[in-house]
Amino acid sequence: MRIWDLHCHLSGVAGLTPEERLGSLIKYADRVGIERLCVYMGMKWAQDPSADDLGKQNDDVLRALEKHKDRAFGFVYLSAKHVERSLSELERCVTNGPMVGVKLWVAQRCNDPMIDPIIKRAAELKAVIFQHTWFKTTANYAGESTPDDLVALAKRFPEVPIICGHTGGTWELGIRAIREQKNLFADLAGSDPTWGITEMAVRELGADRIIYGSDSGGRSFASQLAKVHGAQISDADKQKIFCDNLRNMMLPILKAKGIQA
Partner 1 sequence: MNRRLFLTQAAAVSAAPLLTAADKPSGLVDCNLHLGPHPTRALPEIDEAFLAKRDITEAWAGSFEALLHRDMGAVNERLVKRCAASSRLSAVGSVNPRLPAWQTDLRLCAEKHRMPMIRLYPNHHGYTVADDVFAQLLTEATKLKLRVQIVAQLEDQRTQSPLMQVPPVDLKPLAEAMKKVPESRVMVLNANASMITTALRGCTNVWLDIAMIEGVAGVENLLTSWPADKLCFGSHAPFFYWESAALKMQESVLTEDQQNGIRLGNARALLG
Min dist. Cβ of residue 159 to Zn ion (A): 26
What is the DSSP annotation of 77-91?
Answer: EE-TT-HHHHHHHHI
Select from partner 1, Zn ion, none the partner in contact with residue 88, using the beta carbon and a kind-dependent cut-off of 5 to 8 Å.
Answer: none
Sign of CA dihedral 62, 67, 70, 72: negative
What is the DSSP annotation of 51-62?
Answer: HHHHHHHHHHHH
Nearer to partner 1, 61 or 125 (CB): 61
CA angle 146, 149, 254 (to 5 degrees): 90
For residues 196 and 204, what is the distance between their CA atoms, to the nearest angstrom? Answer: 12
153 within 8 A of 164, measured Cβ to Cβ: no
Min dist. Cβ of residue 68 to Zn ion (A): 19
Measured from each CB, the residue nearest to Zn ion is: 215
Min dist. Cβ of residue 234 to partner 1 (A): 13
Select from Zn ion, partner 1, none the partner in contact with residue 92, using the beta carbon and a kind-dependent cut-off of 5 to 8 Å.
Answer: none
Select from partner 1, Zn ion, none the partner in contact with residue 51, using the beta carbon and a kind-dependent cut-off of 5 to 8 Å.
Answer: none
Give the interface with partner 1 as residue ranges (CB under 8 A). 12-13, 24-25, 28, 31-33, 134, 136-138, 169-171, 191-196, 216-223, 225-227, 229-232
Query: Angle at which helices 147-156 and 171-178 pack, to 10 degrees?
Result: 20
Distance of CA 248 to the CA centre of its chain: 15
Min dist. Cβ of residue 92 to partner 1 (A): 29
Nearer to Zn ion, 222 or 259 (CB): 222
Q: Quick one: DSSP state of residue 133?
A: -
Indicate which single residue of 215, 221, 243, 246 sits in contact with Zn ion (rule: CB under 5 A). Answer: 215
Select from Zn ion, partner 1, none the partner in contact with residue 230, using the beta carbon and a kind-dependent cut-off of 5 to 8 Å.
Answer: partner 1
Select from partner 1, Zn ion, none the partner in contact with residue 28, using the beta carbon and a kind-dependent cut-off of 5 to 8 Å.
Answer: partner 1
- Tell which residue, 199, 207, 261, has the closest CA to residue 236: 207
Site residues (vs Zn ion, CB under 5 A) = 215
